[in-house]
Amino acid sequence: MHRTEDRPVILADPHARAWSPETARLRFREGLAGPTAGVAAGHTQANLIAVPADWAYDMLLFCQRNPKPCPVLDVTDAGSWTTVLADGADLRTDLPRYRVWRDGELVEEPTDVRAYWRDDLVAFLLGCSFTFEWALSTAGVPIRHVEQGRNVPMYVTGRQCRPAGRLRGPMVVSMRPVPPEHLGAAIRESSLLPAVHGGPVHCGDPAALGIEDLGRPDFGEPVAAAPDDIPVFWACGVTPQAAVMASRPPFALTHAPGQMFLTDARDEQYRVAGAG
């Protein structure tokens, strides 16, 4: 299936950076869709994957064995669409856009999944690299995809995750071009936030990750780099979607890449002790 790429939310509404998480979730519940980089600045964003209960242990084990791409922030009870990360939120309606998977195939990308929700679904909320972008920006690191009004580019790598039960698949990474003089800050600041992927998994030649063409991301959109920029790659929470495609569970719901759940948590809550 093919869908035209949604515009980033901060382009659709210039006030989105200053929204509260509650305002963001309400707007998404009303049907606003688009990548959420920069939305409700200072609040933690999360990836979503929901699987049937008989696959939930495999997913939990997959996340435990692959903490860089799959850092767990919360796991719901079976059938529950609420989370301790956001009071009053509804995981069925409060993300900009979702993906519906059947037997490993993407079948729909709605903005509301109440019609698809099942009593046996267990939802996992995973840390998102959009969360550490505030720290990079504060440290002077340019965020090219935000500057250019694009979704962050994401790539399926040649690195296989550690399998868990019936789940297997490659690691997905997000990429941000970083000027050489800011590389140290980018590594340092993201490393202080291990709950949202932490430091990069690779800097430099994309071929080392099995990526052939940065201009053709598997998810998101390509970004233009400055001549001296170094491509920097972080583990990405779209990795479970690659596992769904590889492992073909009978059913799953996920966020659309780049269109995240806005939690009430503040980014600094996930910053490790000793920073500053």
Distances (CA, A) of 172 to 155, 243, 275: 6, 10, 28
Write the DSSP string, 52-77: EHHHHHHHHHHHHH-TTT--EEEEPP
Domain of residue 48 covers: 9-128+244-270
- Do 109 and 174 lie in a common domain? no
Examine the pLDDT at 50 and tell me if it is beyond 50: yes
- Do 115 and 251 lie in a common domain? yes
Examine the pLDDT at 29 and tell me if it is beyond 80: yes
For residue 248, give the nearest of 45, 58, 19, 22 by alpha carbon: 58
In a domain, 275, yes or no: no
Mean pLDDT over each residue of the chain, to the nearest integer: 95
- Do 67 and 138 lie in a common domain? no
The CATH code of the domain that includes 20 is: 3.40.1640.10
Examine the pLDDT at 259 and tell me if it is beyond 70: yes
pLDDT digits (tens, 9 = 90+) for 53-84: 999 999 999 999 999 999 999 999 999 999 99
- Do 87 and 66 lie in a common domain? yes
Q: What is the pLDDT of residue 5?
A: 77
The Cα 213–Cα 263 span in angstroms is 34
- Do 172 and 227 lie in a common domain? yes
